[in-house]
Amino acid sequence: MSGKATSIDIAYLAGVSQSTVSRALRGSPTVNEETRRRIEEIAHKLNYTVDKHASSLRTQQSNTIALLFFEDPTSDDSLINPFFLSMLGAITRATAQRGFDLLISFQELSGNWHVAYEDSNKADGLILLGYGDYLEYRARLEQLVAQGTRFVRWGAVIPGQPGVSLGCDNFQGGYAAARHLWEHGRRRIAFLGDASNPYPEFLDRYRGYCRAIEEAGGTVDAALRVDAITTEKAGHRAAHELIRRGAAFDAVFAASDLIAIGAMHALREAGRRIPEDVAVIGFDDIPAAQLATPPLTTIAQDTRRAGEALVETLLKLIDREPAESRVFPARLIVRDSCGASRPR
């Protein structure tokens, strides 16, 4: 074979179509493992490399994925929830492995982000992380669907919602947290987090918490629920409000690790020992959870698996293949903030 090898040459030697070669070298999950390996071996022998610019001209694609972070109130200047930052590495690696570039952009929810990529050719599809009030955000998703934008988001998976969403099984996570506390002798379990329709992930975590308590024969006490958004400041304020109400409690399940960490500061300020007086569980397993004093028991979301699944799902949509919303299991990680069992 003379001259520079092409994808047509690889397709001929592999006995497949040129489009199959393109998808295999891009890491598309639609190509089976045996075929992909055969194509990669032939490409390696021929010293073939993907010409992204030529491929873009042929397909009118940019070979770029855009990752849009949305502002979250934080204690630093990042305005990005640390949970989403922990997902960034997995998304970056998965994108590179599939031959795409990654464009990372920070968006203000008040901006006109939902039309910024229409007909711009900046990216072939969008990954959306973070959203604030879901009821406000939903209208933007509906517009993305209407204009034909291919996108996938990490968040609550709700029947009938616009587009494709991947998310954690928040109900199961909330159930596991409350059940663990109950099984370790805690009977007055408070919930800190805004459990309402604008915050569907927190709402599902609260519903799981309620189910666990009710199944164990307990009663959910409204006085032990305090709304809080996902910041340390909000968690600190919510724990002080819980104490001010005067209702007895021996455990706190916080809807996020940031809320839990803020609550732990407030509990210590009030002279409550953790975990002797109050056991605490958070949600997310952000890096700060292990560094808290004491280290925070939490419900972990698998950010590596989540990042890879977001990229795989978006590439299916870019290839105009069917993709469905999915939920992934969460798991309980026990650390010192729960402590030993209380006598029953």
CA 276/CA 295 separation, integer angstroms = 14
Please indicate, yes or no, whether residues 290 and 316 belong to a single structural domain of this protein: no
Cβ partners under 8 Å of residue 128, min gap 6: 68, 70, 151, 152, 153, 154, 155
CA 191/CA 175 separation, integer angstroms = 12
Q: Residue 78 has what pLDDT?
A: 57
CA 189/CA 169 separation, integer angstroms = 21
Task: Supply the CATH number for residue 245's domain.
Answer: 3.40.50.2300
Count of CA atoms in the C-beta half-sphere (13 A) of 39: 28
pTM of the model: 0.79
For residue 57, being part of any structural domain is answered with no
How many other β-carbons are positioned within 10 Å of the β-carbon of residue 179? 18
CA 260/CA 270 separation, integer angstroms = 15
Work out how many domains the chain is built from and give that number: 3
pLDDT digits over 62-108, tens only?
Answer: 688 888 877 666 555 556 778 888 888 899 999 988 888 898 877 65
Task: Supply the CATH number for residue 42's domain.
Answer: 1.10.260.40
For residue 340, being part of any structural domain is answered with no
The residue segments making up the domain with residue 97 are 64-168+302-329
Out of 73-77, 160-164, 218-222, pick the least confident. Answer: 73-77
Q: Residue 298 has what pLDDT?
A: 97
Report the pLDDT averaged over residues 196-220.
95
